[in-house]
Structure 1
Amino acid sequence: MKAVLGLDLGTSGLKGVILDERGQKLADARAGYPLRVPQPGWTEQDPRDWAKALREVLEALTSRLPQVEVVAIGLSGQMHGAVFLDREGEPILPAPLWNDQRTVEEARWIEEVIPRPELIRRTGNPAITGFQLPKIVWLKRKHPDLFRRVYKVLLPKDYLGFLLTGNWATEYSDASGTGAMAIRERLWDEELLRALGLAVSLLPDLGESHRVVGGLRPEWARAVGLRAGTPVVAGAGDNAAAAIGLGVSRYRPGTGSVSLGTSGVIFLPLEAPLPDPEGRIHLFCHADGAYHLLGVTLSAAGSLEWLRRIFPEVSLEELLGEAEKVPLGAQGLYFLPFLAGERSPYLEPALRGAWLGLSLVHERGHLVRAVLEGVALSLGVVYEVMRSLSQAEAFLVTGGGSASSLWLSLLGGALQVPLYRVVGEEGAARGAAILAMVGGGVYPDLEAALAATRLPEVAVTEVNPGVRQLLPGYEAWASILLERYRRS
């Protein structure tokens, strides 16, 4: 039996799946690694921990399915991180991650050198603290001795590709999230890099998501039980790969996706690169050869998990049950989910969350209800910005939060777009595997691969249309908070 293998290098662990030609999961495996927070606002991981997890996951998968022929390996992973490697390919320091905030000064400096409107025109985005380019500038400015040792800077998933093949390569979806790629031309922006005092030679080769970037090195093949030379496919950044796993692409116009994971993410495919002029939402390349808009609420299900830890004496199911008994609007209580700053549409890492409108009438159930409504409203605000560029006819909804029918009813009311819950979703690892089907020759192109592997969907029929009435109050409170934090 022929099969493909997909890998997704997440923030909490590496997930691997093996799929057959119809997209059915044959096996999966996972290995975790620590997250380091050496200073407030810093988040980083040791790439050597990723290498260890890679071996563990591959060994686990191949040991469970010894008779399956893996014809290709696809890659996905957390975007925006910076893996600084020397000429021998050894990490020079821990990799700052997508949610690392150490580069506030560098992001501001980049926009002094290249004004924000010009930067958005060239790259599709403003300078964001979490993006890779400000991290490179940070290392050069703050640690010049370390920077002089840097030979290549890779994105997290591309470091896995380097380990497996020995080649320095990336693809457009992940590269468009570095802040250094000319998004229309799909090339590294050499003029921009020169203005910042950086050489384009620091960055890897660019190409399509489904292309083969190399063959599996013999030493890795022997170690994990795969065939030497097995094609390794470039893959995609985690959001683009997850969309491919759901079938969200240019081949299905009008369909986007919403993820209620730790963060909340709205993904909308685009045929042409149309950035928001103010840069309030992201514009990236999609793995299907086109583009996509991405709006991010940093603390979605993360807000609910934070609340659950405050009340350890009750289960999550009990908390959600209490919230169901509370009327819409939580009797005047609003929750702003800015627990880790906020991306869309505020782009303010210093912003912090709040309950607003508290009174003596409010009990624990009101707090839970306000969190659910606040996340839904936050995503509603994000979509209001996005819809001026592209509108969805339907959203496929995924992530841990999608298990809550109450939350989905609130989200559907906030977005005012039909929602469909996806059955059997495996996230970005699935998308990486589907891209591997194309690179490995299982299907002639991505359209055929997506048609053969489409997942079943169930319509969400319970929608609370009254949620939209809460948006003006939410936005008014958010404006007050935003002004306060920008002054401080």
Structure 2
Amino acid sequence: MTEGVTLGVDVGTSGVKVVALTRRGEVIAEATRSYPLHTPRPGWTQQDPSDWVRGATEALRDVASNLDGRVPLALGLSGQMHGLVPLDGGGDVIRPAMLWNDARTGAQVEAIEARVSRAELVARTGNRAVAGFQLPKILWLRDEEPQAFARLRCALLPKDYLGFVLTGQKRTEPSDASGVGALHLASKSWDRDVLSALDLDASLFPDVIASHEVVGTLSDAVAQACGLPRGLLVVAGGGDNAAAGVGLGLTSSRRDVGSVSLGTSGVIFAPLSDATPDPEGRVHLFAHADGGYHLLGVTLSAAGALQWLKDKIAPEASLETLLEEARGVGSSQGVTFLPYLAGERSPWMDPALRGSWSGLSLAHERGHLTRAVLEGVAFSLADAFDVMRPLSHVETLLATGGGARSDLWLGLVSGALDKAVRRPSHEPGAAHGAAILAMPAAGLYASLEEAMDALRPRGDAVAALPAAAEFALYRTRRDLERLHVPT
């Protein structure tokens, strides 16, 4: 009997990734395609959605040709959150997509909170107005490109645009839609009161279906172009963080296990069963792809801060050398680092924050600088987790991202957060989670929860490093530094 597989497609910022998974979670084939990021002005980040389609088509064709006779049964979607793909009445893209890290919408964020109080916005949508979200981008389009806005008939998120191209159907799902800034989290439907206050109509947004539900079937033309079966089921999927959480088996019914990612940015993911936001909106609350919710704490410069140190201070050294030097010094010995190289998200939500070293003396060496960077990132994650702690039940964190290869760094994170940290046996990404989200529709599992339980990776514990004294010093210096940061 021919074995069936599911496909997962992740529309990332640097490229698209496609994987094919068996029911046992084995990766049979995978492919990636990169595409450019456009920055026409400082603070602007854009991409051409046709590049996503081209990359996905090529990657799907590669995977389809390497399945060794296995039959694709369904395809799940994932992708970068918050982006705006504006479509006209004919379904054509009006202008380049504005991405999650686009910073042009400061005036629109202020306008949103002038019409809807921050407290009410957080209570309704789980989040305060954030420059990277889709909602202020729509207002920017209305303010700055009125001719384009006059043509706007539908606002899609990146993965949902790919789903529209694949199936002809415009749909979204709660985990990605909750990053728009206008989804009523308790009902998981568009908040008409918020939109009305901003003179926007809910008809601009696609229907919201469950993350494991079918959007539609692959069109004949797309199936032929990708070398895939006609009528292949396409499943709504999830935003990249939620899909990655599915891959790690992080469920809202098992709230004691979350994740910490040490990628370019640092992210703490804590599952919740109920929509319980931080009242001040200092961390994000999004819907989870399993039907529940999750808190998300983000520090913008994690492994990115270490890479910055290497590029600017020690270009001749390898990251392995820098990490070994940091281990060798034993501690930062009074040097602290504030990792606000690109402003900060959680819990400060302040793009004006800037990074610094302090406490330097002639006795300090490069290893102390590196150690301070590792500690500063760990403590910035602890700042976010301090907000999440009373709202969540997390006791163990699964570690992912490039920085998770360092036992030293994970030990510092475990010490700063005072939680167990485990490195999973393998690191499934958002594309893997998208493929798992497609498994119930493919008939490989009776439910998403069953699939996640069966495919959850195991993890090995990392020893925590005592960091209480360093954390106290860091907090003091951080508070002093913030007094001098212009806002």
Q: How far 1:45 sits from its partner (Å)?
A: 1.2
The separation in 2 between residues aligned to 1:232 and 1:257, in whole angstroms, is 28
Instruction: Name the stretch that deviates more: 368-377 or 310-319.
Output: 310-319
2:310 is the alignment partner of 1:313: no
The separation in 2 between residues aligned to 1:116 and 1:297, in whole angstroms, is 21
- 1:276-291 equivalence runs, <5 A: 276-291=278-293
The separation in 1 between residues aligned to 2:339 and 2:186, in whole angstroms, is 34
2:216 is the alignment partner of 1:220: no
Instruction: Name the stretch that deviates more: 91-100 or 213-222.
Output: 91-100
User: Residue 85 of structure 1 contacts residue 152 of structure 1 at CA under 8 Å; is this kept in 2?
Assistant: yes
From the superposition, tell whether residues 217 and 17 of structure 1 become closer, same or farther in structure 2 (CA, over 3 Å). same
User: Residue 47 of structure 1 contacts residue 95 of structure 1 at CA under 8 Å; is this kept in 2?
Assistant: yes
The separation in 2 between residues aligned to 1:400 and 1:7, in whole angstroms, is 21
User: Residue 251 of structure 1 contacts residue 447 of structure 1 at CA under 8 Å; is this kept in 2?
Assistant: no
Percent identical among aligned pairs is: 54
* Aligned equivalent of 1:478: 478
Q: How far 1:391 sits from its partner (Å)?
A: 3.0
Q: How far 1:322 sits from its partner (Å)?
A: 1.0
Q: CA RMSD in A?
A: 1.2
2:17 is the alignment partner of 1:15: yes
Q: How far 1:484 sits from its partner (Å)?
A: 3.1
From the superposition, tell whether residues 120 and 143 of structure 1 become closer, same or farther in structure 2 (CA, over 3 Å). same
- 1:70-81 equivalence runs, <5 A: 70-81=72-83
Q: How far 1:42 sits from its partner (Å)?
A: 1.6
- Which of 362, 365, 381 is equivalent to 2:364? 362
> Equivalent residue of 1:443, what SS?
coil
> Equivalent residue of 1:325, what SS?
helix
User: Residue 255 of structure 2 contacts residue 270 of structure 2 at CA under 8 Å; is this kept in 1?
Assistant: no
From the superposition, tell whether residues 294 and 112 of structure 1 become closer, same or farther in structure 2 (CA, over 3 Å). same
* Aligned equivalent of 2:445: 443
The separation in 2 between residues aligned to 1:334 and 1:391, in whole angstroms, is 30
> Equivalent residue of 2:73, what SS?
strand
User: Residue 101 of structure 1 contacts residue 349 of structure 1 at CA under 8 Å; is this kept in 2?
Assistant: no
Output one character per residue of 1:8-60: Cα deviation in whole Å (capped at 9) or x when no partner.
11111111110001111111111111111222222121111111111111011
User: Residue 253 of structure 2 contacts residue 273 of structure 2 at CA under 8 Å; is this kept in 1?
Assistant: no
User: Residue 255 of structure 2 contacts residue 393 of structure 2 at CA under 8 Å; is this kept in 1?
Assistant: no
Output the amino acid matched with 1:474: Y
2:326 is the alignment partner of 1:323: yes
The separation in 2 between residues aligned to 1:362 and 1:108, in whole angstroms, is 44
2:434 is the alignment partner of 1:432: yes
- Which of 169, 172, 175 is equivalent to 2:171? 169
The separation in 2 between residues aligned to 1:253 and 1:142, in whole angstroms, is 43
* Aligned equivalent of 1:413: 415
Instruction: Name the stretch that deviates more: 156-165 or 349-358.
Output: 349-358
Output the amino acid matched with 2:447: D
Q: How far 1:306 sits from its partner (Å)?
A: 1.3
2:63 is the alignment partner of 1:61: yes
User: Residue 270 of structure 1 contacts residue 293 of structure 1 at CA under 8 Å; is this kept in 2?
Assistant: yes
Instruction: Name the stretch that deviates more: 476-485 or 391-400.
Output: 476-485
2:85 is the alignment partner of 1:52: no
The separation in 2 between residues aligned to 1:366 and 1:84, in whole angstroms, is 48
Output one character per residue of 1:139-188: Cα deviation in whole Å (capped at 9) or x when no partner.
10111111111121111111110111011100001101110111111110
Output the amino acid matched with 2:431: A
- 1:259-278 equivalence runs, <5 A: 259-278=261-280
* Aligned equivalent of 1:231: 233
The separation in 2 between residues aligned to 1:37 and 1:393, in whole angstroms, is 40
The separation in 1 between residues aligned to 2:11 and 2:479, in whole angstroms, is 36
> Equivalent residue of 1:74, what SS?
strand
User: Residue 216 of structure 1 contacts residue 229 of structure 1 at CA under 8 Å; is this kept in 2?
Assistant: yes
Q: How far 1:486 sits from its partner (Å)?
A: 4.1
The separation in 1 between residues aligned to 2:21 and 2:6, in whole angstroms, is 6
The separation in 2 between residues aligned to 1:400 and 1:371, in whole angstroms, is 15
The separation in 2 between residues aligned to 1:289 and 1:248, in whole angstroms, is 12
Output one character per residue of 1:183-227: Cα deviation in whole Å (capped at 9) or x when no partner.
111110111111101111111110110000000011010011111
Q: How far 1:387 sits from its partner (Å)?
A: 0.4
The separation in 2 between residues aligned to 1:182 and 1:201, in whole angstroms, is 15
* Aligned equivalent of 2:191: 189
> Equivalent residue of 1:139, what SS?
helix
Unmatched 5+ residue regions in structure 2? none
- Which of 95, 114, 117 is equivalent to 2:116? 114
User: Residue 255 of structure 2 contacts residue 392 of structure 2 at CA under 8 Å; is this kept in 1?
Assistant: no
Unmatched 5+ residue regions in structure 1? none
Q: TM-score, normalised by structure 1?
A: 0.97
Q: TM-score, normalised by structure 2?
A: 0.97
Pairs aligned (count): 484
Output the amino acid matched with 1:482: R
Output the amino acid matched with 2:171: A
The separation in 1 between residues aligned to 2:223 and 2:39, in whole angstroms, is 34
